[in-house]
Amino acid sequence: MLGLVVNSQVEMHAKWGGVVPEAAARTHVESILPCLEEALGQAQLSLNHVAAIGVTNRPGLIGALSVGVTAAKALAQLKRIPLIGVHHLEGHLLSPYLSAEPGLPHLSLIVSGGHTELVHVQSSGEVRIVAETVDDAAGEAFDKSARLLGLGYPGGRALSDLAEGGNPRRYALPRSLPRDAEKFSFSGLKTAVRRLIEVEGDRLDRRDAAASIQAAVVDALVQKAILVAESLDSGLWGITLCGGVAANRLLRSELERECLRRGWGFATPDPVYCTDNAAMIGLAASVRLAAGQWDSCSELDVFSNASLPSTHHIQG
């Protein structure tokens, strides 16, 4: 990695208790060029050394995506270099390759603030979503529970810090495993957490509550990932774990343990590459560039919704 700068808007989101799209876009405008300069400074390079520009163009908040895509187009045109629009989840899907060497075929568990998906990546590079959430994403389950515990927004990290040393068996919470192999569901957990806090009132041990919530989310994710992996063809290399929630220590260790028990491989990025970052987008862009795929500056657009590309062209 030559240079990586993350300008987190978490403090601003915490102040407003969530993401305010207008404020997020404005902050992108203010920070995009300073971030670019800092990253080039870290890499001790100038724009003249840059061979191509990758940028997230989908899915997401249109205002924020437009700032990045407009800046990327200007730079690509100025320097006459290729421009590559990247799907946000494709970045997460490839992020384990920044820290490890997963084999193919594998099953990837993508867990973020907006997504909970199990993706089967075949040896051909073909990508197929085999399970997704029917309601809240895993990150939302953490964030909404954290908010109920008064931990601010987004509270996934704060909840997992509070859970350290807490008793995960103190409060019984649902594991929300819908019988359908291809569905996750976390809304029942959210309701149960709200009820627990109401019923326990001042008696609630917040550390034990955080540990019990974390265990419920992690159990549901690990059990479903293993169930789906076992149902896939033999010859599966193993499981990769990515997305912001993949920074969770318990999830990393539990999923790794279950994979190793079955003789499967396990790969997850260093935590810095789990939460949203440009390194994973750069990697996805370079893989597309190597496959001869890039976008036209006049045609690249932004999309609030977009399905995951069906191939990713990385070699196992």
Residues that bind Zn ion (CB under 5 A): 112, 276
118 phi/psi in degrees, rounded to 5: -110, 125
Cβ 217 to ligand KG4 shortest distance, Å: 8
Cβ 92 to ligand KG4 shortest distance, Å: 6
Regarding 68 and contact with ligand KG4 (CB under 6 A), the answer is no
- Closest to ligand KG4 by CB, 105 vs 156, is 156
- Closest to ligand KG4 by CB, 28 vs 157, is 157
Kindly state the tokens that stand for 133. 């959430």
Regarding 252 and contact with ligand KG4 (CB under 6 A), the answer is no
Q: Rounded distance, CA 300 to CA 85, Å? A: 7
- Is residue 127 classed as helix, strand or coil in its secondary structure? strand
Footprint of ligand KG4 on 73-112 (CB under 6 A): 112
Options 245, 259, 281, 289; binder of ligand KG4; rule CB under 6 A: 245
Q: Which does 160 bind (CB under 5 to 8 A by kind): Zn ion, ligand KG4, none?
A: ligand KG4
Could you count the other beta carbons within 10 Å of the beta carbon of residue 81? 16
Q: Rounded distance, CA 69 to CA 134, Å? A: 30
Could you count the other beta carbons within 10 Å of the beta carbon of residue 124? 10
- Closest to ligand KG4 by CB, 160 vs 268, is 160
The string over 236-271, giving b where at least 16 C-beta atoms fall within 10 Å of a residue's C-beta and e elsewhere, is bbbbbbbbbbbbbebbbebbbebbeeeebbbbbbee
- Closest to ligand KG4 by CB, 142 vs 294, is 142
Cβ 89 to Zn ion shortest distance, Å: 8
Regarding 160 and contact with ligand KG4 (CB under 6 A), the answer is yes
Regarding 244 and contact with ligand KG4 (CB under 6 A), the answer is yes
Using only the alpha carbons of the chain, give its radius of gyration: 20
Q: Rounded distance, CA 186 to CA 142, Å? A: 10
Options 102, 248, 269, 273; binder of ligand KG4; rule CB under 6 A: 248
Regarding 275 and contact with ligand KG4 (CB under 6 A), the answer is yes
Cβ 297 to Zn ion shortest distance, Å: 25
Cβ 230 to ligand KG4 shortest distance, Å: 25
Q: Which does 212 bind (CB under 5 to 8 A by kind): Zn ion, ligand KG4, none?
A: none
Q: Enumerate the H helices of the chain as residue ranges.
A: 10-16, 21-43, 62-79, 88-94, 138-148, 156-163, 187-200, 206-231, 249-261, 278-290
Cβ 249 to ligand KG4 shortest distance, Å: 7
Cβ 274 to Zn ion shortest distance, Å: 9
Name the segment binding ligand KG4 (CB under 6 A); options: 16-24, 121-129, 139-147, 183-191: 139-147
Under a CB-based contact definition with an 8 Å cutoff, are residues 209 and 149 in contact? Answer: yes
- Closest to Zn ion by CB, 112 vs 145, is 112
Of 224, 152, 144, the residue nearest 191 (C-alpha): 144
Kindly state the tokens that stand for 103. 């084999």
Q: Rounded distance, CA 92 to CA 137, Å? A: 15
240 phi/psi in degrees, rounded to 5: -115, 150
Cβ 220 to Zn ion shortest distance, Å: 20
Q: Rounded distance, CA 44 to CA 251, Å? A: 36
Regarding 157 and contact with ligand KG4 (CB under 6 A), the answer is yes
- Is residue 292 classed as helix, strand or coil in its secondary structure? coil
Residues in touch with ligand KG4 (CB under 6 A): 112-114, 139, 142-143, 154, 156-157, 160, 243-245, 247-248, 275-276
